[in-house]
Structure 1
């Protein structure tokens, strides 16, 4: 106890030294991980396509997943943490390793991160990651607490994105419904106009129908009056006389045609008799033709 008081080396002091060394070691681990990521990105640009996985396995004994995580660390934190150039003073190197906080582009100081914390925070986008570091006591969190906080942040972001999506969808549906409503209103207005037009057309047709019916009635009345006049009876008598005269003329015409046919047939019979003695074979042909002609004529024409 006396030795501790004399030298000032108490358990509290030693614990403080140990914790300081732990922070320095964790920061150095993160810085070296970032530098490895920088070099992996550099060499990947040199490796031919398709040979990256083999090179990692043979040259540095890394899987592609491990290499991808290290390069992601460089992309996320490379501008904040890195090894000083080879010619930089050892004092500056000591400052880097002494627990200084991260500096953003805007000059804000961010808390120190361990390698595991830095990997965990890669789950967040860059802008949200900086906000998270400014808002949360990351240095005072355990790894489990940090993972839980990151998951809650991600869930909140998903819910916010879902809310935005639902809002946009609701707006779109509202716009669609409004457009449909406007279309329906226009359709109803058009149908109403067509209905009114049809009503007007029907009214016009009914008016024309009434006028035509009245005109028919008037003409019928005029016709009835005409029939009652004496002149109408005279006209009817004249029609009867004309019909009788036409009938007599038709009868005379038939009588004339009959006489002509009789004379012609009689003359034909005489000639056929004379011709029979000259050419019986040809006479038989003509006789058959005459017979067929008379038979068909009597059957079809009379």
Structure 2
């Protein structure tokens, strides 16, 4: 009697292969965690300085591999279901993300469709961005602290000036200058406070003012701080506002996703700057 052979479709074969791959990855991650658990146990028993030799002689692991295995046990064992589909190499790559953010990262990124190299690149960019944001926040906090100190100094100077004005030792012009200086400082401090409370900008995409331009701006600010002319104090307030708006414009410009639209508005900014420069040259 001839036995009938049922031909299986390629879809069925592919499904079986993917199921086996999933099982193998899950088993690999679980096995890595179990190995890591035992490595921790062994390390705790070894004298200081013997760890590297023990690894080489007994299990043929480098210290970096052993560290990865131990960290996989510590990071993934408590929530193995959430990370069970990861390959070993991707699990190691994800150790670069803070444990509290890891599950959210997996939900926001299609890690299963990425290669390990692509995943490592995304994580590296994320780490770079977080570092830049942290630095921006630290700089803003430091600048806010300096402004708060300036505000206290200006308030004291203004109080002293008002007391002395009763004795005709300080002019009304000086009191007006200090009042406007105080208003500028309080306005800047308030804006910094708002920026610290707001969602941080993606620092990796923010175009900063060139260093040479920033030095010139700082020099002009310094010069204006020395002025007692009310007109110059007014100019200072307008100038500070202009610089702040320029920075804000750069931030918003970088948020535009469409490359052609972004290029169009970038060119518009360049044209406006050229027109402003020509206007200023005509006034000299």
State whether structure 2 residue 131 is matched by structure 1 residue 147.
Answer: no
Q: In the alignment, which residue of structure 2 is the partner of 1:174? A: 147
**CA-to-aligned-CA distance 1:124-182 (integer Å, 9 cap, x gap):** 10111121012222222222322222223223322321232122122112112112212
TM, length-normalised to structure 1: 0.50
Matches within 5 A, 1:130-209: 130-189=103-162, 192=165
Corresponding residue SS for 1:49? coil
What is the alpha-carbon distance in structure 1 between the residues aligned to residue 167 and residue 43 of structure 2? 74
Contact residue 26 and residue 114 of structure 1 kept, 8 A: yes
Q: In the alignment, which residue of structure 1 is the partner of 2:41? A: 42
5+ residue gaps, structure 2: 170-284
What is the alpha-carbon distance in structure 2 between the residues aligned to residue 146 and residue 111 of structure 1? 17
Q: In the alignment, which residue of structure 2 is the partner of 1:9? A: 8
Contact residue 26 and residue 84 of structure 2 kept, 8 A: no
How many residues get paired?
167
State whether structure 2 residue 62 is matched by structure 1 residue 63.
Answer: yes
Q: In the alignment, which residue of structure 2 is the partner of 1:127? A: 100
Task: Give 1:21 deviation, angstroms.
Answer: 1.2
What is the alpha-carbon distance in structure 1 between the residues aligned to residue 168 and residue 45 of structure 2? 79
What is the alpha-carbon distance in structure 1 between the residues aligned to residue 84 and residue 30 of structure 2? 14
Contact residue 39 and residue 66 of structure 2 kept, 8 A: yes
Corresponding residue SS for 1:80? helix
Matches within 5 A, 1:62-81: 62-81=61-80
Q: Name the Cα RMSD after superposition.
A: 2.4
Contact residue 111 and residue 139 of structure 1 kept, 8 A: no
Q: In the alignment, which residue of structure 2 is the partner of 1:52? A: 51
**CA-to-aligned-CA distance 1:11-59 (integer Å, 9 cap, x gap):** 2222221222122112211111111111111111111122212211111
Q: In the alignment, which residue of structure 2 is the partner of 1:260? A: none
What is the alpha-carbon distance in structure 2 between the residues aligned to residue 56 and residue 186 of structure 1? 72
What is the alpha-carbon distance in structure 1 between the residues aligned to residue 32 and residue 88 of structure 2? 8
**CA-to-aligned-CA distance 1:204-223 (integer Å, 9 cap, x gap):** xxxxxxxxxxxxxxxxxxxx
Mark the CA change 1:51 to 1:194 in structure 2 (over 3 Å): closer, same or farther: farther
What is the alpha-carbon distance in structure 2 between the residues aligned to residue 21 and residue 73 of structure 1? 22
Mark the CA change 1:77 to 1:111 in structure 2 (over 3 Å): closer, same or farther: closer
Contact residue 121 and residue 150 of structure 1 kept, 8 A: yes
Deviates more, 1:5-14 or 1:53-62: 5-14
Deviates more, 1:64-73 or 1:7-16: 7-16
What is the alpha-carbon distance in structure 2 between the residues aligned to residue 65 and residue 111 of structure 1? 22
Q: Which runs of 4+ in 1 moved over 4 A?
A: 189-196
Task: Give 1:111 deviation, angstroms.
Answer: 7.0
Q: In the alignment, which residue of structure 1 is the partner of 2:87? A: 114
